[in-house]
Chain A
Amino acid sequence: MNSLTPTQRDRGLKRLRRLTFGATAGALVAVVGVSYAAAASYPGKSSAGSSSTALNTTTPTTTTTSSGSASSTSSNNLQSTTQAPSTGGSGSGTVTSGGS
Chain B
Amino acid sequence: MTVAITSWKALGTSVHVLATDSDALGRAVTAVRDVLADVDAAYSRFREDSELSRLNSRAGGAVRVSPLLATAIDAALRAARLTDGAVDPTIGHAIRVAGYDDDFSRIAGPHPALSQRGREMERGPVALRASRVPGWQAIRFDRLSRTVLMPPRVELDLGSTGKALAADLAATAALAAAGAGGVLVSLGGDIATAGQPPAGGWRILVAEDSRAKPDGIGEVICVPAGGVATSSTTVRRWTRGGAVLHHIIDPQTSLPTTGPFRTVTVAAASCLDANIASTAAIVRGEAAIDWLMGCRLPARLVENDGTIHYIGRWPDPAGVAA
Q: Which residues of A contact B (CB under 8 A)?
A: 45-49, 51, 53, 55-61, 63-73, 75-100
Contacts and interface: CB of A to CB of B under 8 A. Distances in A.
A76 B149 CA distance: 23
B38 A66 contact: yes
Contacts of B138: 45
User: Main SS of the interface on chain B?
Assistant: mixed
Interface residues on chain B, size class = 35 or more
B61 to A, nearest CB: 11
A80 B269 contact: yes
A71 to B, nearest CB: 8
Given A63-B70, A63-B143, A68-B176, A98 B169 contact: no
Contacts of A47: 137
B101 interface: no
Contact of B67 (A60, A65, A96): A65
The 4 closest A-B pairs by CB, nearest first: A99-B232, A93-B3, A100-B188, A89-B222
Contacts, number: 254
Interface of B: 1-5, 13-14, 16, 18, 34-35, 38-39, 62, 66-68, 70-71, 74-75, 77-78, 81-82, 135, 137-138, 140-145, 147, 149, 165, 168-170, 172-173, 176, 184, 186-191, 198-215, 220-226, 228-236, 263, 265, 267-270, 272-273, 276-277, 295-298, 312-316, 319-320, 322
Contacts of B169: 65, 67-70
Contact of A99 (B1, B78, B236): B236
